[in-house]
Amino acid sequence: MPQFPFPVGVLLFNRPQYAEQTLRALANQQRSVPGNRVVIVIDGYDGSKSQKSGQADHTADVARIARDIFPDATIIASQQNVGIAVAFDLLEVALRRCDPQSKWYAFFEEDYVPHENYLGILADLARQSSQLPEIVAITATGELFVERSRGVNSVYPLSRLWAFLIRSSHLDERRPIIDEYLAAFSDTSYWERNKPAIARVLANTGVLPVGVSQDQVKLTLLGHFGRYGISTGSTQGEYIGVVGEHMDEKSYASFGFEKFTRAFDSSQVDLTALAPTLAREARVGFATKVADAYVIPRFVAFEARQRERARPRLSRAISAFVRGVRILAGRET
């Protein structure tokens, strides 16, 4: 079995139970990764959201696990918390230093555990994408923009950049905008960033600011440059991030993340034939996501305000009084 041909980067933080599962899964891939082509960045505890909320510091345990599983890896540990956006940037820089000539780089976070053939699928799809420069990101998480109209053993436009390969040429073209984005919160922590100010910075670069988290920005930049990413029709691993920056047990359950269910046969995928369909699906899928998340809710809220204003004044006053009582009683927010 050939080795995985691209450098692999992993971003870890303060969750040893997650780090061990993901790193061991990467170490046990059918398409193996030489340890000296693995880069691990461990974000610091000092100044982190975990520290502010009183959680214990487990970063030393995370570092020990990383060294035990990948003794030859490049491990970069920060004492100070830099946040996921800067940590990802540190990982990108270190990966490119590891192999400046690589056409693709793999990025993983600690909370997605890949199935044993995950890297093999990424490598096969990257090989098929060599003559399709508009495809610049590849995952096998099954997180999609569109319905699985071609069945689960096909590929579709991705909706999340998780456990992904990304083309080096896209890293180059997006770099000036990423630098502007990172500079916009260089004087504060990522989780305390000024979101309206960052949205204005993005708009000034010509980017439609549909979100200001690092993953939303990078997903937006795919379309900004006329690119798109693809994912398998089924998940080839398991997302385990129940507790994290943007997730808790309740929100995790609401997403309905899937677990690995069946092997994906990448040899049955013809990316060249699918490329026009994928490009169209990517445009429609992203536009639909923007409409559902931002445009339609504004119209719905506007219409609700109009209906409220049309109600008799006494009826509105009674409703406001009842809502005030419920808030005071702790039954509504």
- The 10s digit of each residue's pLDDT in 284-306 is 988 887 777 777 777 777 777 77
Residue 242: pLDDT band by 50, 70, 90 thresholds? low
What is the arithmetic mean of pLDDT over 62-82?
A: 96
Helix (H) or strand (E) segment spanning residue 229? strand 228-232
Q: pLDDT band at 154, cuts 50/70/90? A: very high
Mean pLDDT of 236-248: 70
Task: Please provide the distance, in angstroms rounded to a whole number, between the alpha carbons at the two ends of the chain.
Answer: 57
Mean pLDDT of the chain: 89
pLDDT at 155: 96
Look up residue 177 and give its two tokens: 């905008």
Q: Confidence class of residue 247 from pLDDT cuts 50, 70 and 90?
A: low
Residue 207 pLDDT exceeds 80: yes
- Mean pLDDT value across residues 172-199: 92
CB within 8 A of 254, min separation 6: which ones? none
Q: What is the mean pLDDT of residues 60-81?
A: 96
> Would you put residue 164 in left (φ > 0), alpha (ψ -120 to 50) or beta?
beta
- Residue 332: predicted pLDDT: 65
The backbone torsions φ and ψ at residue 76, rounded to the nearest 5 degrees and listed phi first, read -115, 110
pLDDT given at position 243: 59
3-class secondary-structure state, position 99? coil
Bridge-based pairing state of the strands 237-239 and 112-114: antiparallel
Decide if pLDDT at 81 tops 50: yes
**Backbone dihedral region of 206: left (phi > 0), alpha (psi from -120 to 50 degrees) or beta?**
left
Q: Which residue, among 176, 210, 238, 223, has the nearest Cα to 295 in the 3D structure?
A: 210
Sign of torsion over alpha carbons 93, 96, 98, 104: positive
How crowded is the C-beta side of 9, counted as CA atoms within 13 Å?
25
Please report the pLDDT score of residue 303 as a whole number.
76
Q: What percent of the chain has pLDDT over 90?
A: 68
Residue 246: pLDDT band (50, 70, 90) is low
How many CB atoms are closer than 10 A to CB 257?
A: 18
**What confidence tens digit (pLDDT) does each residue in 127-143 have?**
999 999 999 999 999 99
pLDDT at 35 over 60: yes
Q: Is the model's pTM score more than 0.85?
A: yes
Domains, the chain, ordered by start:
8-291 (3.90.550.10)
The reported pLDDT for the residue numbered 309 is: 75
**Is the pLDDT assigned to residue 64 strictly greater than 90?**
yes
pLDDT band at 245 (very low <50, low <70, confident <90, very high): low
pLDDT score of 249 more than 50: no
pLDDT, position 257 = 62
More confident residue, 302 or 122: 122
pLDDT of residue 252: 40
